[in-house]
Structures are given as C-alpha cells and as structure tokens.
Amino acid sequence: MMRVLCVPNFSEGRDSSKIQLICKSIETIAGVELLHIDSGADANRTVISFAGTPETVCEAAFEAIKTASEIIDMQVHHGKHPRIGSTDVCPLIPLCNISMEETVEYARKLAERVGNELDIPVYCYENAAFVSERRNLAFCRKGEYESLKHKLSEQKPDFGPAIFSPKIAKTGATVIGARDFLIAVNFNLNTKSKDIASLIASGIREKGKRSDDAKLKGIKAIGWYIADFDIAQVSVNITDIHATPLYRVFEEVVKRAKQLGVDVTGTEIIGLVPEKILLDAGQYFLSQTENENPANISGELLLKIAIEKLGLNDLFPFIPDKKIIHFNLSAVKVSISS
C-alpha cells in the first residue's frame, strides 16, 4: 500500500480550541493516522503530522486547510516564525511504495483543488515547483503575509486567485509541495540575546551573508528569542538530511556558540524525527568517547546516547515512542537510507 506523510504548518499556536478544530477536521477522514501535534505560542504556529494513503491524506489536508482558512484571521496574526497564510506550508512526503514523482502529482492536485475550491492563492514548492525559484520555501514566503498584496501582483500563484481580495486578506496564501524528510530543530542557548543566536544562524546556513568553509549544505537557520522559555534559540531546518546529519549541525552550533561566549544547553526537535537520524547521532557520539565499536551497541542504547548528548530533554521530556515517526506508524516500514 502506498503511504505518504503530511506535515502542514498552521498560523495558530495559542488558541487550543482552534487547534483542536483543525485536528478534528483531519480525524474525520477514515484511514488517516494523526501522529503528532506541536504548537508554539511565541511562534504562534502549530505543526501537525499525519499519514495514510495519498488519497486520504490529500483529503485530510484539504479539510484542514479549509478549516484553518475559516477560523484563522491573518489580519491579526503575529508570531516569530515566518508565515504567509493561515496554512503557511503543506508538504507531502513519500513514506513507502510511492515515488517522489508520484508524490509530486498528488501535491499538485491538492494545490489545484485548494486554489479552485477554496479560492486561496497557492504556490507550489520543492519537488512540486513549476519554476526553479519556487523550489525554495523561503523564496515563496519572502516578504511574508505583509507583502502578499504586492507578491500576488508581481508573482502570480500557481493556482487560485491573484487578487488581494478581502477574503485573501483573511486567509493569506499557502505553499504546497512534495519533499523528502526535513528535520526542524531548535538549539537552546544560555543567553537571551537574539543577536547572538542570529550570528550563529548566519554562520551555518547554506545561503547567507558569510562565506566561510563551515557552511552546511541544506541548512536554513534564523535566531530568535523565545519568551516562553526566556532563552534565545538557533532555529534550523535541515533540508538535506543525507548531506548534513543532525549531530553535525549540533556540533557546529556548539562551536560557534562557544566562540561567542555562550553554551548550547539542549536541543528541541519540532514534530517527528526518523529513528535513523538519532541512531546515527548515537553512533557518532559513541565513536567520539568510547573505544567500543558502535556496531556492537544496541539501538536502544544508541537512542539514549543521542538523547543525552543532544540534550533533547532540556525543555521537555523526549519520549521516543511519541517523537520518532517509526514508532507512531502502524504497519509501515519507513526507510531513510544513507
């Protein structure tokens, strides 16, 4: 059976009743597994993960986007995370028995339906992009919601209206696409300085103002201050998990933080993470501290090592059964190859 994962990001992280309504709209679709909900008040954003057949997932995604457009008013939305609409971004990710090319077709059909039936401007991104510039989410979201009126006139969406009507003023636009696994992670600093976090972010992201050799492939990063925790964080998206493993990003952030006189106290993974990402981290950290061959160590121990070394319990308890995607999917084997 073909299975895909959908990880839409909604511009609401404070009103639990609205978040519940969006989740209920997903759960009404038979055969869809609601896997994880991750909300942040400062970001004012919720990331929801669900999986199923391509048809059921696309139906659930449509219903969620529809519900979000009805209950979220972008005219009054404020949050630290970049966003362009009530449903900011909605990616489809192939899980098993489906190719990326097939996933792209489903993503484009979903985008067309959202544009036609909900009258929401839709930009297609990553592998589903029709033009190369729009492969990059940051390009599609440049200027955010506040610049949407100008964007619609200058960059016509792939689907939906290109006029900033009163309805679009409320819903904003959305970005829909197909991509590989992405790791969204925040590194916690023992400082409140957004400037320090931003300096670290600019030094590691692939496309930035600096041009030193430490640039990491497939890394998008920003720095921010999170009032909920009273700390600054380096917020990172690892878009190429094969080229740049999580532990590599962690070590680079630690190094640059020390150069600026601060420490990394821990790591916060947003949403779900493939098990292999943490097993690889455990093997790496073990190889740095022990003489024993990591190949002889159990997977359970490797997970414990990764959780400890990355500081995944820093802000909240990290529970593998709830945070690792493989442990949340019924009868699905997800393969993340090296």
Active site residue 81: yes
Among left, alpha and beta (phi > 0; psi -120 to 50; other), residue 22 is alpha
- Per DSSP bridges, beta strands 87-96 and 9-10 are antiparallel
* Amino acid (1-letter code) at residue 288: Q
Residues 6+ apart with CB under 8 A from 181: 93, 241, 274, 336
Residues 6+ apart with CB under 8 A from 208: 201, 202, 215
Q: Which residue has the tokens 């077709």?
A: 105
Would you tell me the crossing angle of helices 246-259 and 275-289 to the nearest 10 degrees?
A: 60
Catalytic residue among 36, 77, 81, 150: 81
Among left, alpha and beta (phi > 0; psi -120 to 50; other), residue 127 is alpha
For 38, other C-beta atoms within 10 Å of its C-beta total 20
Residues catalogued as catalytic: 81
